Amino acid sequence: MGLTVAQILLLAAGMPLLSFVLLIFFGRRMGYMAGAVGTLLIVVTLGLSVTASIEWVAKAEFNQRHYVEALAYPWITLPGVGAENPATPRVLANSVGSALVMGVLVDSLTVTMFVMVSLVASVVHLFSMAYMKEDPRYSRYFAYLGLFCFSMLGLVLANSLIQMFVFWELVGICSYLLIGFWFEKRGPALASKKAVLVNRVGDVSFLIGIGILLLHLGPASLTFFDGQGNAVLSSAVQTAVHQEMGGAEGLQGFARLLSPEGANYLTHNFGATFWGYNWLTWAGLCIFGGAMAKSAQFPLHVWLPDAMEGPTPVSALIHAATMVAAGVYLVARVFPILTMDARLVIAIIGCITLLAGALIALVQTDIKRVLAYSTISQLGYMMLFLGSGGYVAGLFHLFTHAFFKSCLFLAAGSVIHALSGEQDMRRMGGLWKKMPITAGTFLLAVLAISGTPYFSGYYSKELGLAGVYEYAMALHQQSLDRHLAMMLFWVPVATSYLTAFYMWRCWWLTFGGKARDEELGEHAHETSLMTLSLIFLGGLSVVAGYEFFRVPSVLGKSLPAVMALGGGEALTLSVMPSEDVQAMVSQWAIWAFVAGPVAAIGIYFAGFGLANRVRRLPGVNLVYLWLVEGMYFDALYDGILVNGTKAFSVTLGFVDRYVVDGVVNMAGYAMRGVSRLSGLMDARVVDGAVNGLAEAARLGGRGVLAPQGGRIRIYVLGLFTVLAAVAVGTVVYVLAAR
Amino acid sequence: MLHTLMPILAQVDAAPLATPGNWTIPLLVLIPVIGALLTLVLTPKDNPKQACILALIISLAPLAIVIMMAAQFSRIAVAEGDVAVSGWHYQFAYNWIPAFGIKFLMGVDAISLWLLVLTAVLTPISILASYNYIKERQPEFYAWMLILHAAMLGVFCARDILVFYLFFEFTLIPMFFIIGIWGGAERRKAAGKFFLFTFAGSVFTLVSLLYISYLNFKANGVMSFAMDDLYRFGQTPGAISPHVQTLLFFGLLAGFAVKVPLFPVHTWLPLAHTEAPTAGSVILAGVLLKLGTYGLLRFLVPVLPYATQTYAPVIATICVIGIIYGALVSWVQGDMKKLIAYSSVSHLGFCVLGLFAMTPEGVMGSVLYMINHGLSTGALFLIVGMIYERYHTRDMDQLSGLVRRTPALAFFAVFFVLSSIALPGLNGFVSEFLVLLGTFVSGRTVDGVRMGTLGPAYAIPAATGVILGAVYLLYWTGRVVFGPLKEPVHETADDDHGHHHHVPDLSGREWAVLLPVAVLVLIMGVYPIKVMNSLRAPIDGLVKSVNQPPMLDTGMKTADASVTLKE
C-alpha cells in the first residue's frame, strides 16, 4: 500500500472516530445495524493494527526502534519560552519552534498497545451487540465506545506529554459517559461523577508534572522522540542534570540518578530540593500522580469499584484492559526520566495497592466488585514491577492482564445477562451446568490470573517478581532496613496466594457447587455471540504469554537507550532478572495455583456456611467489616473530604451573602448618608452632565423606575462629590510628598 | 526628563490628523445606534415581536463588517509578519476637543478584533434568544440592546482613553435599563447595585486616567489622551515615580476589578445575573465582564509596567482566592443562574491570573480565555434561559432528568459544560491550559530578563480550580440534566386541565441560537491556531514592554524606581 507504519496506525485510530461520528448522527436511524457498523470498524482497526505490528516487528529487527511522523496539524502555539535553554536539544527546534506539533509515535510499545486495545475492543463490541440488544440507546452506546477507542488509541500514539494529556482527558470524559450510560438511575450518575472527579485530581497532578518539566526543560523537550527516532525528553533531562551538576560529576550523577546505588547521593547533590526531593523526582512523582488516578492506585482507587455501575462490557473494556492501562502506559513512557526516589515511591504505592485490593476482594460478594478490586490489585502489581525497574515485566503483565481480565468481566457479564441483572454471588452457584462455556472460559482466566504454569499470567508475574526481588535486594544492600526492603518482595508473593484464593472463590461461588437460588438460574442460558467472544478471550488468556508471540522481547525494544554523554556505554535503565533468580523466585510464588483452589473450594464447598461462621468470630468480624466496606475509604472521602468541603462551601456561601456583600452594602449606606448631605449642599455645583444622565435615566425608565431613578441621581451626585474630593486629596498628597 | 522625552513625543504630535482615515469603525459603531432608532420607530404597534426580527437583522450588519475585518486582518497579519506589534488597523482620527488634546482615535489590533468578533456574534444570538422571553415593551428592549451593542463595539475600538472611558461607562446605561425593566423580581435592586458598583469603581479609574495624562502633560507639555502616547510615557523608566505608580495602579484597578469582577468586589454579579433577562445575562457574562480584563490588558499593564511587576503577586493571590472561592460558592447555589454567575468569578480569576503572569503563554491564554469564556458561559446562560422558559423556575431542587424530556437541549447543556470544564477538543481547554502553564513558568529569567513575577506557587493552587470546576458543573449536570425525571408541578394548568404542560424540545429558533455557539466552541477547540497566530504579535509586544529590564540609573529625580522594582 505504500503506507508507513505510522500512517497505518493513524488510519486504525481513525476508524473508531468514524464510527463515533456515523453513529452519533445517523445511529438512531440505523437501528440494530449501529452495533454492526461499530463492530465492523473496530475490527478493521484490529486488522490494521496487526498488519502494522507485523511490519514494525520486522523493522525493529533491523534496530529501528522509534519512528515519529509529524502531523501537519498545528494545534496550539506555545510562544517560544524555553527554546533559549541550552539544555534543550535543538533537533526539533525547526518544527517545534513555536507551535506544538502533533506527532505520531511508533515503537514496539505503541504497536503492542494497539494490538491489545483493538483486540479487546473488538471482542467487547461483538459481545455488546448481544448484551445491549434491549437497550433503548443502543446506537448511542456504540458511538461512545467508538469515541473511547479513538481517545485511547490517540493516547497511545501521542508523541508528547501535552498531546498525551489531551487524549488523557478525553479518555476520562468517555469513561464518564460510559459509566453514566444508565443515567436515569442514581448509582451510575454518581459513579460517573466520582470517576471524573478522582481522575481530575490526577489530571491536575499530571499538569503540574508537565509544568515542572516545562519550567526546567522548555516546551520542545516535552516530546518523547524526534523525527530521527532519538529520545528527546530523556536526553533533555540528561543534559539538564549534567549541567546542573557540572561536567564529569554530572555524568556520574545521571548514571547514579537511575541506578539503585546512588539514590541518596543525588538527593543531596543535585537540583533545588523541596522536602528532600529534587525537581526531577517531583516531576516524575507528579506525572505518576496522574497515573495513580487513571490506574486506580491507592489512595485514588475509589472510583473503580463504583465504576462497575456501568454496563459490564464497558467494565471489560475500560476498567480492565484500556483506560486503567493508560496510567501504566504513561509511567512506561516517562520511565527513562524517573529518578530512583520516584521509582521507589511508585513501587511502594504499587505494593500497597496490590495488597489492599486483594484483601478487599477476599470478602466481596458482588461478582463485579470482586473483579474490580482484583483489577486494582493487578494494577498495583504492574506499578510495582515498573517501579522496581522491571520495564518489560510491568508492560508484559499489562498485556496478559488485559486478556484474562476482560475475559473475566465478559464472562461475568454473560452471567449477569443470564440472571437478568443479578450480580450477587450469594444467589448464584451451580451455573456451570447451565453455562458451561462461560464457566470454562472464566476458569481459564482464573487459572491465568492465579499464576498457574503455562497460563499467560504466570509468565508475566514470575518475570516481574524476579525483578522485584533483585530490586529489593539492591535496596537492602544500601542503607535501607533489610526487612522493610524485602517487604516489597514478600508482600506481592503473599498476595499472589490471596489472588488465587479470591479468584477461585469467585469462580466456585458462581459456577461450582449447588445453585443457591433455583428460581433465578432457571432460565439461564448462553447466547452464541457472547460465547464466541468468551472462547476467543479465554484462548488468549492461555496463550498470550507464550514465547511464540515474543511479547517481552518486543516490548524491551521500546525503551530508549540513554547514551552516556561523551560516548560511554549506554546506561541500563531497567532490570532484566537472570534465569537463576527467576527460578528461585518461582519456588516461593508458584504454589498459589494449588493452594488457592484448595483453600477456596475447601471453605466455600457448601456455600457460605463455613465462611459465615468464620467471619463472626470475635476480632475477625471487625476485620471483615473493615474489608467489606472497602477499608472505609468512601466513608473517609465522602464524610470528611467531600462533606467537609461542602460544609466549607456552604459557609463561604453565607459569608459571601452576608459578610462580603454586607460590608459593601454598609459602605453603600454610609456613602448614601454622606451623599445625601453633600448632595443637598452641592447639588448646584455639580455640572450638568450628571443631571443629564439622571434625566436620561428618568426618561428611559418612564416612571417604572421613578423612585430608583431619583435615588440614582442622588447617588451619582454624592459619588462624584466624594470621589472628586478623594481625587483632589490624593493629588495634593502626592504633590506634597514629592 | 522633559528633554529626553521631547523628541519622541514631538514625532507623535506631528502625526497629521487632517484626514480622518478609515470610516469602517465609525460605521460599525453607528449602525446599531441608528438601528436602535429604527427599531423604536418602525416596529408596528400591533405586532411588537417584530422588533426582535428587525433588531436581529440590524445586528447582523456589524457582524458582517467584523467578519470582513477579520478576514482582511488575517491577510494583513500574514503580510506584515511579526512586525505589527502595536499594529493598529482601520484607524480613524478626529480632533474632538483640540483645546484639551482629546482626539477621537479609533483602531483595532488583533486583541480587540477578536473581542469585536465575540461581541458581534453574541449580540444577534442574544437578541434572537429573547424572541419569546421578552413579553412587554419589546421595541425599547431591542433598542437598548442595540445601543449596548454600539457601546461594546466602541470600547474595543477605542485608542484614546477618554473615548474608551466614554464607551466603557456608556455600556452601563443600556444594561441598567435592561436589568431594571425586563429583569426578575428584584430587578430594581439588582440594577441599582450593578450601576453603583461599576460606577463607583470606574470613577477611580477615571481619576487615575486623568492623572496619568496630567503627568504626561507636565512632563512633555503636550496634552494627550492617546493610548500610544501614554504607553510610551508610562514605559519610560522613571517617568512615574514608584510611589505614584502604586496609587495609579490601584486607582485603575478599582474600576476594572469591579467589572471583571475580582474576588472581594464581585457581589453585584450574582444578583445582576439572576435578575437580568437571558439576553442581559449572556451579554453581561459574555462581553461586559471582558471590558474589565480588556481594560487591565490595555491600560493597567502597559501603562504601569513597573507597578504591574511589583503588584502582580498581590493580584495573582486575589485571583487564586477568587478561583477557589468562586468555585466553592458556586457549588452550593440552588439557583442555576447563580451557579453559573459564581463560576464566572472563578473563571475570570484564571483570565486575570494569566494576564498577570506576564509570560507569552499566560497572556495568550488570558486573551483566549476572554473569548472562550464569552462563548461557553454565554451559552450556559442561554441554556438556563431556555430551561426557564419551559419550567419557569431555575431552582435545581425542582428540576431533574431533563435529558428524558428535552434530549437536544440536554445535549447542548452537556456540550457547553464540557467546554466550560476545559475538555480538550473544545475551546476552554486551550485557554485554561495556557494560563496554567504560563503562570507556572512565570518568573523565569530569559536572556537576562525576568519574565513575570509569579511561578508554581500560584499555578499549583490555581490548578485546584480545575478540579473544583468539574465539581460544580458536573454537580449541576448530574442534578438537572441527568438523574430521574422531575419537573415542577404547575399550579397554573393552562388549557390542559391538571396535565403537565407539553414541554417541547428545542425549536428551530433555539437551534439557530445554540448551534453557532457550539460550532465556534468546537472551532476554537480544535483549530485555534489562526486566532493564536494573529494574536502573537500584539501579545509578544505587550509581554516585552512589561518585562523590559529596569534601565540603569539615568540620574533623574525619580531614579529610585529602578532600585525598588528590580525584583
One-character DSSP codes across B265-277? G-THHHHHHHHS-
Distant-in-sequence, close-in-space partners of A92: CB < 8 Å, separation ≥ 6:
A101, A220, A223, A226, A227, A232
- Residues in chain B closer than 8 A to A656 (CB atoms): 267, 325, 329
> pLDDT confidence of B4, banded at 50, 70, 90?
very low
Q: How far is B335 from chain A (nearest CA, A)?
A: 13
Comparing A686-690, B44-48, B292-296, B514-518, the range with the smallest average pLDDT is A686-690
Sign of the dihedral defined by the CA atoms of residues B394, B398, B401, B406, in that order = negative
Given CB atoms, is B533 within the 8 Å cutoff of chain A? yes
pLDDT value at B3 more than 50:
no
Beta bridge partners of B335: B395
Q: What number is the average pLDDT over the span A189-195? A: 86
Using CA atoms of A367, A368, A369, A373 in order, give the dihedral in degrees to the nearest 10: 110
Q: Looking up cell 527546534, which residue turns up?
A: A93
Which residues in chain A are closer than 8 Å to B338, comparing Cβ atoms? none
Grid coordinates representing A676 are: 445625601
With CB atoms and an 8 Å threshold, state whether A211 touches B456: yes
pLDDT confidence tier of residue A55, bands split at 50, 70 and 90: confident
**CB A464 within 8 Å of CB A385:** yes
Share of chain A above pLDDT 90, in %: 12
Grid cell 484614546 is found at B160
Query: Which residues are within 8 A (CB) of B50 and not within 5 positions of it... i.e. 6 or more apart?
Result: B43, B44
pLDDT above 60 for B440: yes
- The count of other CB atoms within 10 Å of the CB of residue A482 is 12
DSSP secondary structure letter of residue A137? T
Q: What angle do CA B169, B171, B173 make, to 5 degrees?
A: 90
Looking at per-residue pLDDT, the higher value among A722 and A454 belongs to: A454
Q: Which ranges constitute the DSSP H helices of B16-109?
A: 24-42, 50-80
B70: closest CA among B1, B117, B5? B117
b/e for B351-380, b at 16 or more Cβ within 10 A? bbbbbbbbbbbbbbbbbbbbbbbbbbbbbb
Nearest CA in chain A to B143: A700
A736 touches chain B (CB under 8 A): no
Output the CA torsion sign for B388, B392, B398, B402: negative
CB B307 within 8 A of CB B246: yes
Write out pLDDT tens, residues A92-139.
333 333 446 677 888 888 888 999 999 999 999 988 888 888 888 888
Q: Is the pLDDT of residue B1 over 50?
A: no
- Report chain A's terminal Cα–Cα distance, integer Å: 80
Residue of chain A with shortest Cα separation from B462:
A204
Check B243 against A737: CB less than 8 A apart: yes
Share of chain A above pLDDT 70, in %: 78
pTM: 0.85
Count of pairs with CB atoms under 8 A, one residue in A, one in B:
192
Confidence of residue A733 (pLDDT cuts 50, 70, 90): low
* Pairwise CB contact (< 8 Å): B437 & A214: yes
Q: Do A434 and A524 form a contact (C-beta atoms < 8 A)?
A: yes
**pLDDT tens digit string along A64-83?**
677 777 666 667 766 544 34
Is A306 an 8 Å CB contact of chain B? Answer: no
Q: Which helix (H) or strand (E) holds A639?
A: none
Q: Please indicate if any CB of chain A lies within 8 Å of the CB of B463.
A: yes
Question: B16 vs chain A: nearest CA distance in angstroms?
Answer: 31
Q: B90: closest CA among B78, B73, B67?
A: B73
- The DSSP call for residue B100 is G
* A contact residues 58-77, partner B, Cβ 8 Å cutoff: 74-77
The answer to whether A99 contacts chain B (CB < 8 Å) is: yes
**Counting runs of H as helices and runs of E as strands, what totals does chain B give?**
24, 6
| Cβ–Cβ contact A80 with B under 8 A | yes
Do the chains contact at A723 and B203, CB–CB below 8 Å? yes
Quick one: DSSP state of residue B548?
A: P
- Which of B332, B416, B442 to probe by mutation at the A interface, max A CB count within 10 Å? B332
| Residue A466 · residue A581 · CB < 8 Å | yes
Report how far residue B370's alpha carbon sits from residue A89's, in angstroms, rounded to the nearest whole number: 35
Average pLDDT value for residue range A293-309: 88
Query: pLDDT over 90 for what percent of chain B?
Result: 23
Q: Which residue has the cell 530569559?
A: B446
pLDDT tens figures, B462-506: 998 888 888 888 888 888 888 778 877 664 445 455 555 677 888
Q: Does any CB of chain A come closer than 8 Å to the CB of residue B250?
A: no
State the best of B188, B343, B543 to mutate against chain A, taking most chain A CBs within 10 Å.
B188
Interface probe for A, chosen from B404, B436, B532, B560 (most Cβ of A below 10 Å), is B532
Distance CA B77, CA B69 (A): 12
The overall average pLDDT reported for chain A is 78
Nearest CA of chain A to the CA of B170: how many Å?
10
User: What's the average model confidence in pLDDT over B415-440?
Assistant: 90
Amino acid at A309: E
Per-residue pLDDT tens over the stretch B219-245: 888 888 888 888 888 888 778 888 888
Q: Is A103 helix (H, G, I), strand (E, B) or coil?
A: strand
- Return all residues near A590 (Cβ < 8 A) that are at least 6 apart: A451, A453, A462
Q: What is the mean pLDDT of residues A643-667?
A: 79
- Angstroms from A559 CA to nearest CA on chain B: 28
Determine contact: B523 vs chain A, CB below 8 A: no
Rounded to the nearest angstrom, the minimum Cα separation between B179 and chain A is 11
Query: Which residue of A25, A28, A78 to mutate against B (max B Cβ within 10 Å)?
Result: A78
The shortest CB-CB distance from B424 to any of A170, A730, A731 is to: A170
Indicate if the pLDDT at residue B2 is higher than 50.
Answer: no
Taking CB atoms and an 8 Å limit, are B529 and A652 in contact across chains? no
- State how far Cα B179 lies from the chain centre: 18
Of A703 and A91, which is predicted with more confidence?
A: A703
pLDDT of residue A330: 93
Nearest residue on chain B to A697, judged by CA atoms? B173
Has residue B375 got a pLDDT over 90? yes
**Cell output for B235:** 514605559
Higher pLDDT: A605 or B63? It is B63
C-alpha pair distances (Å), B254 with each of A574, A669, B158, B296, B527: 58, 19, 20, 10, 36
Q: Does residue B17 surpass a pLDDT of 50?
A: no
CA A55 from centre of chain: 30
Calculate the alpha carbon distances from A518 to A364, A427, A521, B222, B479 in Å: 22, 9, 6, 98, 40
Residues 637-666 of A with CB under 8 A from B: 645-646, 648-650, 652-653, 656, 660-661, 664
Residues in chain A, overall count? 738
Closest partner CB to A183 (pick from B425, B482, B528): B482
DSSP string covering B426-481: BHHHHHHHHHHHHHHHTTEEETTEEE-S--HHHHHHHHHHHHHHHHHHHHHIIIII
Residue of A31 and B424 predicted with greater confidence: B424
**Nearest in space to B144 (alpha carbons), one of B114, B161, B123, B168:** B123
Distances (CA, A) of A693 to A350, A710, B174: 69, 11, 12
Asked whether B94 and B103 are in contact (CB, 8 A), the reply is: yes
Roughly what angle, to the nearest 10 degrees, separates helices A706-737 and A661-682? 90
For CA atoms A364, A366, A368, A369, the dihedral sign is negative
| DSSP label of A151 | H
Cell of A99: 507551535
Distance, in Å, from the CA atom of B234 to the CA atom of B230, rounded to the nearest integer, reads 6
Tell me how far apart the alpha carbons of residues B29 and A339 are, in angstroms, rounded to a whole number. 60
Binary contact (A731, B211; C-beta < 8 A): yes
Q: Give me the interface pTM, i.e. the ipTM.
A: 0.85
Helices A33-60 and A138-157: crossing angle in degrees, nearest 10, is: 20
Which residues in chain B are closer than 8 Å to A170, comparing Cβ atoms?
423-425
Q: Are the CB atoms for B225 and B160 separated by under 8 Å?
A: yes
pLDDT confidence tier of residue B63, bands split at 50, 70 and 90: very high
| Contact across the interface for A664 and B267, Cβ inside 8 Å | yes
Residues of B with Cβ-Cβ distance to A713 under 8 angstroms: none
- The DSSP code sequence of A407-442 is HHHHHHHHHHHHTTT--BGGG---TTTT-HHHHHHH
- pLDDT recorded at residue A471: 82
Cβ contacts of A190 on chain B, cutoff 8 Å: 478
Residue B116, all three cell numbers: 469585536
Which of A401-415, A639-653, B42-56 is the most confident on average? A401-415
Average pLDDT over residues A542-553: 79
User: Are the C-beta atoms of residues B146 and B32 closer than 8 Å to each other?
Assistant: yes
Which of A23-37, A610-624, A677-691, B465-479 shows the lowest per-residue confidence on average (mean pLDDT)?
A: A677-691
Q: Which residue's entry shows cell 504497536?
A: A111
- Give the residue carrying C-alpha cell 510499545: A109
Instruction: Give the residue ranges of DSSP H helices in A132-246.
Output: 138-157, 161-179, 186-217, 233-245
Rg (CA), chain B: 24
Distance CA B536, CA B530 (A): 10
Distance of CA A417 to the CA centre of its chain: 28
- If you count DSSP H runs as helices and E runs as strands, how many of each does chain A have, helices first? 31, 6
Whole-number Å distance between alpha carbons of A137 and A723:
63
